[in-house]
Structure 1
Amino acid sequence: MNEITAKRTAVKQALHALFLVFRIGSERYALQAIEVVEVLPLLPVKPIAHAPHWVAGVFAYRGAVVPVIDLSALTFGTAAQVRTSTRLVLVHYRAEKSAQAQILGLILEQATDTLRCNPADFQPYGLDNAQAPYLGPVREDAQGLLQWVRVADLLDEPVRALLFPTPPLDLTLLEDRS
């Protein structure tokens, strides 16, 4: 490979991004891999009383309590099917670009594939879905349509306040009460 070919290949690679592909029912969705912290097997979570039905609960991850949402329940009202391919995917969640990233868990069905493509291949689908602002543009390929899920738009303000209180809960204050 000569130097010019190597440079062209590097530029072409830079235009592409890696996506984690998963399913909700029979439909395909994708998260940009740069937002993914870790992909875990489906783990037990502790439910949160009076939380929305799609908030699966919380679990302990490396000394921190991480909230978990079921993306299938959020999107279509039906809990994700428990399969060997159902994963607990940890993502960097930022309500605003200037905010510090927090870890959020997502229960995703069939989260076992990746796709490398140009993000510009995703196109608006013509609907302004205010009830699901996290559902972004779509990309067509041989398997049909693939929809981009935007992590930053997953939680509305009331749920964000429930899952990520500001200031964060001080666990030492709870321990002093006992």
Structure 2
Amino acid sequence: MIEHSARRNATVLPKNKLFLLFRIGAERYALQATEVAEVLPRLVLKPIAQAPHWVAGVFAHRGAIVPVIDLSALTFGHPAQLRTSTRLVLVHYRLGCDRPARELGLILEQATDTLRCSPHEFKAYGLDNSQAPYLGPVREDEQGLLQWIRVDDLLSDAVRELLFPEQPMSLDAFEAAP
């Protein structure tokens, strides 16, 4: 009887998830660890001409070209600080139901800690920020507020098409372009 009751209560409790913590300036943020493919040191990137200021560039990784965005520049308009704890974090970015997920690089400051907690501890903060739909709910702890970043909402449709075109331009099409 006790075993059955304990099993029933265990299914009612929300399951804890692992989050990668980072900062933008003094503010704290989190990514769900299941969205993270790999954490790398900051690398030299190839800049992309005429891209938005928060597109940091691209790099080659395991046979693929990976676009990288600077989350500090996207969120607050200034590039991430060059710290020893600044990382290039590869995340699984879902392009939509009819396209496979791709890797997207994020430059994140102080991306060195993790937190295990229930996703239900994050609460809506009452602001519908349509300019930054990736800013998810917040969690309060002894250090203040921690905000969840939703990877799949990072890019607008136009930027997603710029970084992950449905039909990548072939070399022949590139050479024929004016």
TM-score (norm 1): 0.89
Contact 2:88 2:108 in 1 (8 A): yes
Q: Which residue pairs with 2:23 in the alignment? A: 23
**Runs of 4+ in structure 1 displaced over 2 angstroms?**
2-14, 95-99, 168-175
> Is 2:124 aligned against 1:124?
yes
Q: Which residue pairs with 2:89 in the alignment? A: 89
Alpha-carbon distance, 1:158 to partner? 1.0
Please state whether the residue corresponding to 1:99 is helix, strand or coil: coil
Q: Which residue pairs with 1:62 in the alignment? A: 62
Cα shift readout 1:53-97 (whole Å, capped 9, x = no counterpart): 000000000011000000000000000001110000000001335
Instruction: Give the root-mean-square deviation of aligned CA atoms.
Output: 2.5
Amino acid at match of 2:96: E
Equivalents in 2 of 1:78, 1:37: separation in Å? Answer: 25
Q: Which residue pairs with 2:138 in the alignment? A: 138
Which ranges of structure 2 fall in alignment gaps of 5 or more residues? none
Equivalents in 2 of 1:65, 1:171: separation in Å? Answer: 15
Summarize the Cα distance change of 1:92–1:165 in structure 2 as closer, same or farther, 3 Å threshold.
same
Summarize the Cα distance change of 1:128–1:14 in structure 2 as closer, same or farther, 3 Å threshold.
closer
Please state whether the residue corresponding to 1:22 is helix, strand or coil: strand
Q: How does 1:29-48 map to 2 (within 5 A)?
A: 29-48=29-48
Which ranges of structure 1 fall in alignment gaps of 5 or more residues? none
Summarize the Cα distance change of 1:12–1:89 in structure 2 as closer, same or farther, 3 Å threshold.
farther
Q: Which residue pairs with 1:150 in the alignment? A: 150
Cα shift readout 1:82-134 (whole Å, capped 9, x = no counterpart): 11100000000013355311100000000000000000111000001011000
Equivalents in 1 of 2:36, 2:13: separation in Å? Answer: 20
Contact 1:80 1:107 in 2 (8 A): yes
Amino acid at match of 1:155: L
Equivalents in 2 of 1:92, 1:45: separation in Å? Answer: 19
Amino acid at match of 1:30: A
Contact 1:70 1:80 in 2 (8 A): yes
Summarize the Cα distance change of 1:12–1:53 in structure 2 as closer, same or farther, 3 Å threshold.
same
> Is 2:63 aligned against 1:71?
no
Please state whether the residue corresponding to 2:44 is helix, strand or coil: coil
Between 95-104 and 148-157, the greater mean CA deviation after superposition: 95-104
How many pairs does the alignment contain?
175
